[in-house]
Structure 1
């Protein structure tokens, strides 16, 4: 019995594995034409690669990538999948894809990608129930104890330093407690208030030294990151995009950016990408290639089908 094999819907010629005998639809000719347009024309330039699903647009893009790679860095190639990131900031993800395609050094690439991921993040302090130190001070500032403590602390802290916790810290606390008891008792017997005040100060320092590791359980400042849902603003995106090109593609003649799977996105995402292409990316040395099923995009905007995709 003969085998019944299924023809898989996988793009051909990935990773430069082109074989002429497997190219029945002559994808090489299309890729070569696009590459010649890229080489022979100055940017800004946008190239549309139109065709229905299953006609080999991705295979053509794979061949184009191999041709750019063969130029020895003169033509940088960046692949951006619009559909994969339609739930996130397209602008942010495009910048990250650009960094991945342009930066050869893995260390620098990782640092730059992390920086781009955090664009428009802000650190904030999350409020916790309780009193602030200022409120506690204001509540007790009229008492004689606080006034005396403030005066003694200002003078004593110039010469007193808390030891590190551990055996040394425990030993220091024990010494301070012992000194405090002796001075308080001796001052009470001799009716010397000054000696007693120093005894109470020693007691306070002993307690503070002993409880210092527990401070984080008393004073709580929880830090969290707030994310701006609007993500990267157009002006910020344009600046970041230009910086990436200038910094990491200064030795390249052209930067070829492919916006893939755009026809799988919803109408709002498609519109956002096209407007971004028109208004903010037609600069410098960038050439954009947009492979898509144009008939699906037209139907999307006409409202004939609200679920366009690869079915």
Structure 2
């Protein structure tokens, strides 16, 4: 299993350790199907992607060894819609169910003979479905269709033939089922599963469900339908109008579905499910997550972790639930996106820089960067409008503002989200909860205040830069700058002690505002220099000469105005030198002198210079 290539496939068989926690519901549903009175129709309700097919497959697998004869016939509506046969789904279903009964090894000769006769009748019925009125009525109520046609005076021989066939069909199907059960033990039943109804037009889904009720609802049959209540509602509206939906939508549903079963989404074990997709499994004895046995060797974080604490899994669960929600299909999509980001991060040498980062919380750097990357993957997929807003100025200040509901109300990004969601108030609560969790992940547990400092926020900037989430400069550009500086220093015979100081000064610059991927972009400008740009305008340069392998220049519009705007304390660290050097900029910043200051003071000077140059 690879976290970068999760295929969207349902669970294929019963698994007691299935990470979502569906196994207990599958067992309960299986027991009910075996013991319930027949005929009965069970509706498995849930949104698209919440695991309805997985639950059907688990039930199917559990029914096989039961002592009563419970053959399962599975009908997938989607395959017929794909073949442009949606208008004939009812006939296709009737034919397929009878054919499956005929093919069963346990079918006695009398049942096989009866099934053969019925398939011929279904074929004749399909051949006579050219009349559009009949096509529209099929699957709802054949007797009602006949009455309406008599009233309208539009009865045709072809129509009568189809209606008569459909009126007789239920009796024929009853006889077929009785013939099949004649040598079976008491209590045996057919289980007919109909799946993917939410992938076809609601009106066609309604036709199909009505056909089950009108033509197949006979003793010994249990129908298990994967369908959501909203499909019935939309089907009624599509066929009969919105007024009919409001007045009778629920009665249609109650007439077709005797036992509604809601997918237990609220009870899903999201932490274990998400961790299993990421390649981890819970070790009860060790009380930690350990690498899954079937995880691929090339999964980046799997190679760098030894264990993951339960707390990390809970935090990942919170990040998931406040963004993509508990829909398994959406969670898989987020994990796949995370896998891609992780590989981009590694390509840009992000892991090496992250490993050297001084993480001030009690978590490992691996856990911190995993949570940040996965969290951003979830958030960007769910709220791209707000993610773009965050990327315009990622900072601790903006992070904390996004914890505030009142602040969200003032953002145009929130207005855009409101246009596509049903309940913006719930969404805003989820968004603030997401950033609450992000703050909790970043914040040093020893701090008295729940606040992210500039140092604690740096891993966020690492992730943005080295995953290219902002579409700006990747970390590899700074590696190229470092390689340029070291090459020149090596040719000049620079000693190791001085080279370490140069490396420290370059790292100091990279992790300042000047190295921020959204504030400044570095581009190779030729031999011995990289120019720095802000919104495609040159704002400075980094260059190397043998006498000084690391020089940093800034390019103010006016040197005089720049010096006037600079604080007195910062003036001693800059020098007007003109442009007789490699790269853009007429003012040199004495970078190595800034490193000798208190870190906050040195970074403060670089921030001040940055604000004057770019504003």
TM-score normalised to structure 1 length: 0.53
Structure 2: gaps (5+ residues): 81-85, 135-161, 242-328, 331-615
Contact 1:78 1:102 in 2 (8 A): no
Aligned with residue 46 of structure 1, among 30, 41, 44 = 41
Change (3 A) 1:58 1:52: same
Partner of 1:284: 219
- SS of the residue corresponding to residue 20 of structure 2 reads coil
Aligned with residue 248 of structure 1, among 180, 184, 194 = 180
Aligned partners of 2:60 and 2:205: how far apart in 1?
A: 24
- SS of the residue corresponding to residue 47 of structure 1 reads strand
Structure 1: gaps (5+ residues): 123-225, 305-309
Partner of 2:529: none
Tell me the number of residue pairs that the alignment of Structure 1 and Structure 2 aligns: 198
Question: 1:228 Cα shift?
Answer: 1.4
Aligned partners of 2:173 and 2:193: how far apart in 1?
A: 15
Question: 1:77 Cα shift?
Answer: 1.2
Contact 2:75 2:194 in 1 (8 A): yes
Residue 195 (structure 2) pairs with residue 236 (structure 1): no
- SS of the residue corresponding to residue 71 of structure 2 reads strand
- SS of the residue corresponding to residue 209 of structure 2 reads helix
- SS of the residue corresponding to residue 275 of structure 1 reads helix
- SS of the residue corresponding to residue 192 of structure 2 reads strand
- After the TM superposition, which residues 157-176 of structure 1 pair with which residues of structure 2 at under 5 Å, given as runs? none
Question: 1:268 Cα shift?
Answer: 3.1
Question: 1:66 Cα shift?
Answer: 1.3
Change (3 A) 1:274 1:78: same
Contact 2:40 2:222 in 1 (8 A): yes
Aligned partners of 1:248 and 1:110: how far apart in 2?
A: 8
Name the stretch that deviates more: 35-44 or 112-121.
Answer: 112-121
Point out 4+ residue stretches in structure 1 off by more than 4 angstroms: 106-117
Residue 260 (structure 2) pairs with residue 261 (structure 1): no
Higher RCO structure (Cα 8 Å, ≥6 apart): 1
Question: 1:114 Cα shift?
Answer: 6.0
Change (3 A) 1:282 1:97: closer
Name the stretch that deviates more: 82-91 or 55-64.
Answer: 82-91
- SS of the residue corresponding to residue 20 of structure 1 reads coil
Change (3 A) 1:8 1:120: closer
Partner of 1:151: none
Partner of 1:82: 77
Aligned partners of 2:99 and 2:68: how far apart in 1?
A: 15
Aligned partners of 1:102 and 1:249: how far apart in 2?
A: 13
Change (3 A) 1:81 1:112: farther
Superposition RMSD in Å: 3.6
TM-score normalised to structure 2 length: 0.29
Contact 2:46 2:228 in 1 (8 A): yes
Change (3 A) 1:249 1:89: farther
Question: 1:237 Cα shift?
Answer: 1.9
Contact 2:196 2:227 in 1 (8 A): yes
